[in-house]
Structure 1
Amino acid sequence: MRKDGIMDHAPVPVAPHPRENRFRSLLMLMLSKHLPSTRALQCFLAVAQELNFRRAAELMNMSQPPLSRQIQGLEEMLRVRLIERDTQRVSLTPAGVAFRKEAHKLLLALNAAVGGVRASCDDADAVRMGLTSVINHALMPALHALVSDAAFTGGRALERAWSRQLAERVSSGALDLAIVGDIAASGADLAVEPLACEPMILVLPETHPAAANAQVDLADVVDLPLFWFARADNPAFYDKCERAFRRLGYAAPRRPEPKDFTLLLAAVAAGEGVALCPQSMRATSRLGVAYRALPPAVARLLSIDVQVVARAHETRPAVLDKIAHIRMALAR
């Protein structure tokens, strides 16, 4: 009782709203230390896809030890073995097969959420586009005219990178679409549409005897190594070419391909090997280097499909309109 004679009452507690309870439960779940990180899920899915720790590490742009630690930590957290590994093979356990489906759904849902937020914050008509650096679009008139048209680009420069990197950025929501060369759709999150074809040509030292011919077969240069890219850079095109090499009986030794095209040309000019490149790249001249056409049958086997890649369930009219413009331009 207070001094003025009025009874003091304790405040009546107010029960939290059911929605507030659900939010608190969800927040506590997200802060739980018993949930795997997205990085751990990505590493697991890479191994589940490749069934090879070396290739999975290349896919994740990391070395094998940290990849193995991510898998080990994930298994310890879940208290179940997901992957069986010995000196002969890598395989998924039954639990690993089941978890792969759930992990893939989780990352797709997270990707959709991120993409949705970004789309809601962006200008509805702004379309972020990428263009592969593997192809010299300046020598493809229809493509060059399109990407040079300010009305098409909106005055924005297209992001240039390797095809695989562009596809990953589309998948993550960092880009809306990309014009790439010969990649495979990554699961259910990407839509890939072939639009045109870019022939491959041979790059060889100008002093090589075969350089005297206008057309050179791979069999004519087996005395030199082939500068070749890592499978992780573009698994789909790599596998396509490997199948072609086996069919043609071409088995020249390989050397790692320099990432910079000018360094590759310098190595070829020095007689260190030969290379294959898209026909449009012959615009890059270099003393000591000869560009030569391949026999038509070989060129068809090794050609690069020019593709447009976007998210599989894209609905934004502005993005779909850009894809339609690209389709019409390259069809002509």
Structure 2
Amino acid sequence: MLMLSKHLPSTRTLQCYLAVAQELNFRRAAELLNMSQPPLSRQIKGLEDMLRVQLIVRDTHRVSLTTAGEAFKEEAYKILLALDLAVAGVKAGLHDDDAAMVRIGLTSVINHSLMPELNALVTDPAFTGGRALERAWSRRLVERVRGGELDLAIVGDIVPPTEDLAVETVGSEPMILVLPASHPAAAKTEVDLAELGATPLFWFSRTDNPAFYDKCERSFRHFGYAAPRRLEPKDFTMLLASVAAGEGVALCPQSMQATSRIGVAYRALPPALARLLSIDVQVVSRAHETRAAVLDKVEAIRTALGAAPSRVTSSARPGLDRLAGPMPDSGR
């Protein structure tokens, strides 16, 4: 049945909406789409006018989705995924080239632009197939690999492997401390947790990431750190604003210090603690993946980051008892 309508959103509009819905931040969404914020805002406004429903709530402090926005987000994903698969299928049939069918996700937690090897890879058209990688929190990407919506994802170590997933560690990144510039410890280049005293730590709920939460608690206990906790904001810029206001301290990946903020100081942790809190950069794919195109992408990532093969599934989990794990990203 032929459907011709002037009242359907374009694929570009859907991409704009999904970028905002994914990032919950218009600036980051615009950067992801290689556009400026004003036309992005116009795309969202035009979509809401077309649908005659509010999808996004935006104020000076945060961006959130309405109930209708959450529902439309899932439907928009399905539409673009179906179109993506249709196009990839045609290309594969015409050129016998399934590389274009590899759908890749990249965590928005780690600032890959400050990791030269990773940045060179994910910006190389030969690796991406000329298509933008999907950016989202690690937990969301893992869910989409599990659901068959992505073929693989580069994430901050977030969950132990399960029966349906394979996880391979390809690198790591140290955690650093974020503290108010006015804090006495900010005068040092390296700060021990004991020097923070009773200053609250912005932290995440255990339900968001049990593995990392438990690993950190073991590390904190080992170093005698028992500061009060405050639930961290979902948006990193909001977190920095809270730290700058003197409301607490936080931990973040070293690469995130590129996000500057007046009133905030980034400081290194002692080497022993930094090693315990390092973030494993991992590739997640389906456990029994056999497609050469997907396995070739994993090999390309491994080679670029200089990693030795360490593919792990739930039936073989060496080293999972060690103190290592993902960053506290509320499911990033």
TM class, shorter-chain normalised?
Answer: 0.5 to 0.7
Shift in Å at residue 283 of structure 1? 0.3
**TM-score, scaled relative to structure 2:** 0.62
- Paired with 1:297 and 1:184, the residues of 2 have a C-alpha distance of 23
1:287 aligned partner: 262
Q: Which runs of 5+ in 1 are unaligned?
A: 1-117
- Paired with 2:109 and 2:190, the residues of 1 have a C-alpha distance of 22
CA contact (8 A) 1:182 1:236 kept: no
Larger RCO (alpha carbons 8 Å, 6+ apart): 2
> Partner amino acid for 2:220?
F
Aligned counterpart for 1:312 among listed residues 266, 287, 295: 287
**TM-score, scaled relative to structure 1:** 0.62
- Paired with 1:189 and 1:308, the residues of 2 have a C-alpha distance of 14
RMSD: 1.9
CA contact (8 A) 1:131 1:180 kept: yes
Which structure 2 residues correspond to residues 194-213 of structure 1 after superposition, within 5 A? 194-213=169-188
Secondary structure class of the residue paired with 2:141: helix
Secondary structure class of the residue paired with 1:250: coil
1:257 aligned partner: 232
Shift in alpha-carbon separation, 1:233–1:158, aligned structure 2, 3 A: farther
Shift in Å at residue 159 of structure 1? 1.0
Identity across matched positions, percent: 73
CA contact (8 A) 2:179 2:244 kept: yes
> Partner amino acid for 2:276?
L
Q: Deviations over 1:237-276 (max 9, x none)?
A: 2222121112111111111111110000000000000000
Q: Which runs of 5+ in 2 are unaligned?
A: 1-84, 93-97, 308-332
- Paired with 2:242 and 2:155, the residues of 1 have a C-alpha distance of 26
Structure number with larger C-alpha Rg: 1
CA contact (8 A) 2:198 2:228 kept: no
1:297 aligned partner: 272
Aligned counterpart for 2:112 among listed residues 137, 142, 147: 137
Shift in alpha-carbon separation, 1:121–1:217, aligned structure 2, 3 A: same
Shift in Å at residue 231 of structure 1? 2.4
CA contact (8 A) 1:185 1:191 kept: no
- How many pairs does the alignment contain? 216
Shift in alpha-carbon separation, 1:120–1:312, aligned structure 2, 3 A: farther
- Paired with 1:232 and 1:191, the residues of 2 have a C-alpha distance of 22
> Partner amino acid for 2:186?
A
1:32 aligned partner: none
- Paired with 2:223 and 2:151, the residues of 1 have a C-alpha distance of 38
Shift in Å at residue 236 of structure 1? 2.1
Shift in alpha-carbon separation, 1:146–1:256, aligned structure 2, 3 A: same
Q: Deviations over 1:93-142 (max 9, x none)?
A: xxxxxxxxxxxxxxxxxxxxxxxxx7998443221111111111011000
> Partner amino acid for 1:295?
P
